[in-house]
Amino acid sequence: MRILVVEDDPDLARQMKAALAGAGYAVDSAADGEEGHYLGDTEPYDAIVLDLGLPVLDGASVLKKWRRAGKKTPVLILTARDGWSEKVAGFDAGADDYVTKPFRMEELLARLRALIRRAAGHASPALTCGPVSLDTSTSRVEVDGELVKLTAQEFKVLAYLMHHRDKVVSRTQLTEHIYDQDFDRDSNTIEVFIGRLRKKLGVDVIETVRGLGYRLNEPDPKGDKSG
């Protein structure tokens, strides 16, 4: 999952990036509204953290421009004030949730997890597909109740597929959502991660859709679909 943080306070931005990266997200950042708007308009994000009090272009204006352009990415706004009018203005601009500064990183992470789940159509923090379960709150992966240890990149790939269960996800899409903007991306590595996941999970839940990508669905009782 890939997150954009738009925050002009360098210390807070650094803290959020570290917390999000530590939680397994790919993270990009912008220090003003203009840059933030550009990134949110041109890059695919699973959620955006947006400060309202930004230089160059304020956060509410950035959000309104995204929504007018049809961008549906979940947006969590940050505000230094707890006045009801600012919160209302943020929601009216198209925000999905808010956090008032100062805040605990645990709350920010929990709210982002919930936003991403809801955007993908999931209510529970536990995502399941047949015998495979992934708990978004603990980053724990199990098969038939047994813990499966994954690398950070393997977990990112599985998490994205689990959030988009039953949908075809291309290699390009996976690459764009598991790496941040500065990473030297190579979509060929996705095949490697998929191969490792199949081996570690030990169950047939990742289907290769020829020429299109991958789809996570219930194990096929008739045989192997990993082709």
Q: Show me where the domains of the chain are located.
A: 2-119, 126-216
Q: What is the pLDDT of residue 183?
A: 66
Reply yes or no on domain 126-216 having CATH 1.10.10.10. yes
Span between the terminal Cα atoms of the chain, in Å: 26
Residues 97/111, Cβ–Cβ less than 8 Å: yes
Residues in Cβ contact with 33 at an 8 Å cutoff, skipping those fewer than 6 apart: 6, 54, 55, 56, 57, 58, 59, 61, 62
In the prediction, which pLDDT does 86 show? 80
Order across the sheet with 146-147: list the strands.
Answer: 126-129, 132-135, 140-143, 146-147
Domains 2-119 and 126-216 share a fold: no
Q: What is the pLDDT along the chain (227 residues), one digit of tens a residue?
A: 999 999 999 999 999 999 999 998 999 999 999 999 999 999 999 999 999 989 999 999 999 999 999 999 999 999 877 667 888 888 999 999 999 988 999 999 999 999 999 998 888 889 999 999 999 989 999 999 999 999 999 999 999 999 999 999 999 999 999 988 766 666 678 999 999 999 999 999 999 999 899 999 987 665 544 44
Please report the pLDDT score of residue 170 as a whole number. 93
Q: What is the pLDDT of residue 28?
A: 96
* CATH classification code of 2-119: 3.40.50.2300
Specify the pLDDT at position 226.
46
Query: What are the start-end ranges of the E strands in 18-94?
Result: 26-30, 47-51, 75-79
Contacts of 81 (CB under 8 A, 6+ apart): 100
| 89 contact partners, CB below 8 Å, separation of at least 6 | 52, 60
Determine the Cα–Cα distance for residues 194 and 187; give it in Å rounded to an integer.
Answer: 11
> pTM for the full model?
0.86
CA-to-CA distance for 23 and 208, rounded, in angstroms? 28
- Residue 213: partners with Cβ closer than 8 Å, 6 or more residues away: 168, 169, 170, 171, 173, 174
Please report the pLDDT score of residue 227 as a whole number: 44
| Cα separation, 117 vs 109, whole angstroms | 12
